[in-house]
Homo-oligomer: A and B are copies of this chain.
Amino acid sequence: MSDTKQRLLDGALAALREHGVTGVSARTIAAAAGANQALVFYHFGSVDDLLSAACEQATRQRVDAFAERFAAVGSLRELLQVGRELHDEELAMGNVSVLAQMLAAAQSGERLAAPTAAALRMWIDEIETVLQRLLAGSPVAEVADIPGLARAVGAAFVGIELYEGVDRDGAHRALDALDQLAVLVEVVDELGPLARRALKSKIKKAATPRG
């Protein structure tokens, strides 16, 4: 990977951070990269392709950087805690959630949809692995589709990142509330075997998955 190409990838993220998805352009990216505007097209063909590549690479790196922490997660609260660390680090790095910006742009920019979905998928896969491990043998696994839950968690996290951008206190309060809710789920999971069996039978009766 040539030095310039990498600088453009980094510049794309920087431009996304600074100007947002509405203000990103070959020119703002090149300026952030300290490179010439024409090189965007020489190396990547189009701005969208550069953004896609940058999102893919950045997400890959962030996911790898958090791999050990995900592997060490032993409870839902700890999973949420890792989520908050991720959230805080992104914030400290000045990231306005690159992924969320890309998702918004991808709603109508069809060419961005697949690369963006792939990037979000990386996070979802990590979450799915953790949930699978945490919830094995729990009543939750009896009723809920784990891959579906992982998708819900990933998407919800993106939503909260966006929310934080317009209401920091509100987002903080939301995360605290989820933390408290996680306590409840864990307590249920730690119920004695008798209570759990009763719970399971109630769940079986109540569970009528909607089509």
Enumerate chain A interface residues (CB-CB to B < 8 A): 18-23, 81, 96-97, 100-101, 103-109, 113-114, 116-117, 120-121, 124, 139-140, 143-149, 151-152, 154-160, 162-163, 165-167, 170-171, 173-181, 183-184, 186-188, 190-191, 195, 198-199, 202-203, 206-207, 209-210
Contact = CB atoms under 8 A, between A and B. Distances in A.
A181 B149 contact: yes
Chain copies in complex: 2
Q: Give the interface SS of chain A, mostly helix, strand, loop or mixed.
A: helix
B152 A158 contact: no
B163 A151 contact: yes
Contacts of A21: 21-22, 104-105, 107
B158 A183 contact: no
A207 B178 contact: no
10 contacts: A21-B21, A22-B105, A103-B162, A148-B177, A156-B160, A158-B162, A159-B159, A159-B160, A187-B199, A188-B199
